[in-house]
Each structure stands twice: as structure tokens, then as C-alpha cells.
Structure 1
């Protein structure tokens, strides 16, 4: 008499439920005892929502006038529900000229591009590469925004600085192997190399940031004729494609002169550089 007992169990339910518990027993005279209790449980649905995120980056920045800019646009659904009817739009301001995109836009209206991305599940990521030409100086702005049928909106913009590239490249020769540098009168340097040492040409465009890039490098080579006391042209200007230049293989031992210059993509031409190199017999 007066005692109590409890029983606990755990279950998973997926809809509104009425739970009934019945206890039976006997009284002290052997009669049946029954007691019933009910409890109702209401299931509150868990709502899942999408959440769109967009990021946009440019490369290079700064860039020279007339150069090509690559924009990377990344759209993500970082929510826990699907986003339907996802639409991405990119609006280029004056000063940017559309070139191409991967994937191609579904619609192009002047400088405005549209992609219909459809449904994005939670965790989905879509990347688009957009290419444009800089046709104005200064700071150019490019805005991209994304929407969906659930009423979400997100945007990101990227600014790109456009500068004038009016500096030519600078080209230098690089020795691979043994070399001895002899200065004459403090201004003239004669390089002495054995026949196994070779030369390559390396060009760098200026300014170091925002340049148009090296387009062509040219060179030609002379050799000194001791009998006539004159330079003889071995070959005239030709384009350099990274080959190793072995002077000995051209005309053996002796004194050579190598002349070279480069041109960048904006048409800036470097003044001709030259150096004398003597191939000696070891």
C-alpha cells in the first residue's frame, strides 16, 4: 500500500500520436484492477531553408589597358533546404567588354549576362569563369547577384584597377655553366666562357604589376674575324623560344657578340641590349 513504480521508454514518432498506457492487477480479494491513461504528442515539423552565398574574384589586378580579366564567380547553397529557380546575373559597368564565359550565359543583353542555374541542393557549389577586356582606365566595378524562388538575394562585387603599360620589357642573358666577367675601363664587360657553357635569354615586362606581358624576344649573333678586324654576322634577327645557345657550336672558339631585345603585348619595344662573349679553349 502506498508504493509507486515508473517505467520509461524512448521511441521515435513521425506524426501526431495518442499514446495509451494500461495497468492491470488484483486487489486483496482477488478482484481485477485496471487503470488506463493517455497522452497526446504533437509533432512540430522541422522547416528547412536554403541560404545562398556568392563570391567574386578577379585576376590579374591591377591590369593594363586592353588586357583580359578573369572573374571567378562562386555560388553556394549553404543552407539546409533546396533553392529552386536559382538565377545568376552579372552586370558589367562601362569600361568592361564581355569576351566569353565558362559555362556560356543563357542570356546576353549588352553588358549584362544571365545564367539559369535551376535547383541547388544543400551543399551545392557552382563556379563560373567570366572573361572581359579592360577598355577604360581607372577603377572598374563588376557586380554579380543571385536570386531564387524562395525569395533569397545575395550579391558581391569586384573592383579592378586599370593602368597604362607604357614601359618596355627588360631582357638579360643567363649563363649556364662557368663564366668569368672581365671589366675594361669600368664600363665594358667581356664574358669568358668555355665551350660547355650555354646562354639563355630571360625577359621581364614592366611595370612589375599590371603589365601586358612579354610577347616576343629577338636576338642575333656576330663573330669577330681576326683576319679582317671586322664583325661577321652569323645570323640576323630571329625570335627566341627558350633554346640553349651554345656559341661554340656556331663557329668554334673566339669572340662573339650577342644582341637582343623584347616587345610586350602593348607594343612597347625595348632598346637593343648587347654583350661580348669570348669562348676560350680550356
Structure 2
């Protein structure tokens, strides 16, 4: 924890989707953001430098274990962030005990359950209702140009789509693991496209097996080149995989992310038959600096 003086908030540091502080995706967590304005929260997130920081306030209705949550990247506020949700829920569980929490986010209400498994706290969030829509051909062409990919680099069994589960993500599938590993893109060009399409990340995917995927998430709109582990995009991908019939309606998917950045993490995506919402779970641990 960084303890600040004056009106500056106390900022906790956690990494989500890993049991190793050097893995997964680091997030800032402010458990009491009461009285902080937008400019202050943005400044805190920018100073911390993580892809997102979660700012919590008590539920205005006074409900126990319920919190309003806002998420800021170093450049802007985002409507929802999965890894910062997992980090915040584990931070609350360490303070208040494991169990159920409710987060009121700009994207909607997100229930989160924290359990302790083999001594490790794991959080599973239930995303808001997802949707999947087509991606215009010109937009896909522009995305590929910004990424430096060609049409031959794509896995045609996983066609590009825009998927939402709290935030919008363009899903683009690579034909090979080597293509996914080689990420060097035009930051400004991809950022411009993403802003025009209101995208939070681009979800780059390679399918290893029926239920195992490797993913990467360029995040120029947030001011960082790549997000190491992206819970919101994982939920959106779960909705995409189900919508396109790539996996059974009742499925547990394993997403590996961050290995190409030296920060490996594992995200578990659960789909339930008859329930449109997607669940994303993983471990989180405190980062001591």
C-alpha cells in the first residue's frame, strides 16, 4: 500500500489472474474514494501507471458488501474493467472476509463472489448482459493494417466480431501462435479506429484446443500498449464463442494471457446453458512495493 498524506487516497496494488505478484495484470485499488472528483481519480491512475485503477465508495443505499465502483486508466475513465474488479474484490475480502459482493459500475450491476481455495483468494464476477455484433469489413481492414496483419494471418473459423460484456472489444483471431506472439502495431492508427468504434481493447485470439485459448489485448485508448490480463474482454470473448457456436452452451474456457509480456496469467470463463451472462474468475494477490 502507498500511504498518501493530505487529501490523497490510499492506493493498494494487486495483480489479478495470477498467484505470482510478477504475473497477471496489476491494478490499483482505492477502497475509499469518497470525495474524490474525476480529475483526482484520473491523476491517481496516471501516476500509478497501471492499465486501470478501481475507485470504490460505499453503496449510497447503505447495503452491506455493496459498493459503487469507477475505473480509470492513465488516460480516461472506462465503463468496466474485469481485472480491477477481481483485484478490488480480493482486497475487500482480505478486509471484510470472503463471500459475496455487489459492484455498481457504469456498465451495470456486477455480482462478485470471493472464495478461498488452497489458501488463495479467487474472485468470480458475473458480467452484465453481453451482445455480439458484426464488424464492418472496412473496419476490419483498417484494424489489420494498424496491426500489421494480413488476411492470411486470420483464423477463418473465428471471424472478426465486436463483442460486449460491459465494454466493447473487437475480436480478431490469429491463425497461428507465432502470429499472436509477434505484436508490433501502429499505436496512433489503432487508437483512432478504436475511438471511432468505441472499443476498449482489441481482443487478439489463438485457439489451442476446444476450450483453451491464448489472448492478447492492445489497449492504446487507455494509454498503454498492451493489457496483460483482461477480464472484461475475456467475458466478451465468452459471449462471442457461444454466439458463434464455437463451444457448447455449457462450457468452461481457459484463457492464457500475458506470457508474451513476461506476465503470465490465467482467466477462467464460465458459460451456463440458459444464462446469457458470462462469469470470469481468477486469483489475485497483493503487490508489495
TM-score normalized with structure 2 length: 0.19
Greater C-alpha radius of gyration: 1
The structure, 1 or 2, with the larger RCO (C-alpha pairs under 8 Å, 6+ apart) is 2
Q: Which has the higher helix share?
A: 2
What is the TM-score of this pair, normalised by structure 1? 0.20
